[in-house]
Amino acid sequence: MSDGPTVAVKPLRLFFALWPDDPARAALADWSRRIHRVTGGRPTRAETIHQTLAFLGDCEPARLAEVEAAAGRVHPRRFELVLDRVGVWNHNHIAWAGTSAVPPELDALVAELRAALAEVRFAFERRPFVPHITLVRKARPGDVLPALEPIRWPVAGFVLVRSVLRPDGSDYALQGRWP
């Protein structure tokens, strides 16, 4: 005999990311607006600008504690991320910001985070890590992008973000922070 109707538990759509401080966020939002004027498309909203470290996708709420515990075993080091490149990928029409020199601390953070997730047998997107920040979606490829002053982003930790899909894009809520 059942205790009543079963309520479906909606999965959480999660990812780990670097979350910019206010000066880096403002500079990246300015880049997004400037690139958008050239490429068209949909600029990234300032409040959603981030650098994805590991995309987890759908996660059962009951596993959230495991994901957070895995993140707690990661020991990030402070570093500076210098964003000094922009481009548009033709295959997915994403205008992006990136770095010409990936800090070894960033590669180490991604490797350590992915290893901690694998230890708890958490499935996540395992594409090779290509550091980039999405500035514009549905960008028109082929346009000459403006030269932009480098952005120096002091990185002091990472976050777990919940993404809620909306018709006009995604809303993000910080679920956890690890300094």
Give the CATH number for residue 82: 3.90.1140.10
Write out the residue range of the structural domain in which residue 29 sits.
12-161
C-alpha span between 172 and 124 (Å, rounded): 18
Residue 117 lies in a domain: yes
The proportion of the chain whose per-residue pLDDT surpasses 90, expressed as a percent, equals 82
Could you report the per-residue pLDDT of 56-101, keeping only the tens digit for each? 999 999 999 999 999 999 999 999 999 999 999 999 999 999 999 9
- pLDDT computed for residue 22 by the predictor: 97
Residue 101 lies in a domain: yes
Residue 49 lies in a domain: yes
pLDDT greater than 70 at residue 8: no
- pLDDT computed for residue 114 by the predictor: 95
Cβ atoms 176, 68 nearer than 8 A: yes
C-alpha span between 92 and 127 (Å, rounded): 15
pLDDT band at 14 (very low <50, low <70, confident <90, very high): very high
Residue 173 lies in a domain: no
- pLDDT computed for residue 18 by the predictor: 98
Chain mean pLDDT for the chain: 92
C-alpha span between 131 and 87 (Å, rounded): 13
Residue 72 lies in a domain: yes
User: Looking up tokens 């964003």, which residue turns up?
Assistant: 83
Number of domains in the chain: 1
User: How does DSSP assign 12-36, residue by residue?
Assistant: EEEEEEE---HHHHHHHHHHHHHHH
Residue 177 lies in a domain: no
Residues in the chain: 179
C-alpha span between 153 and 15 (Å, rounded): 20
Cβ atoms 100, 86 nearer than 8 A: no
Instruction: Please state whether the predicted TM-score (pTM) of the whole model is above 0.75.
Output: yes
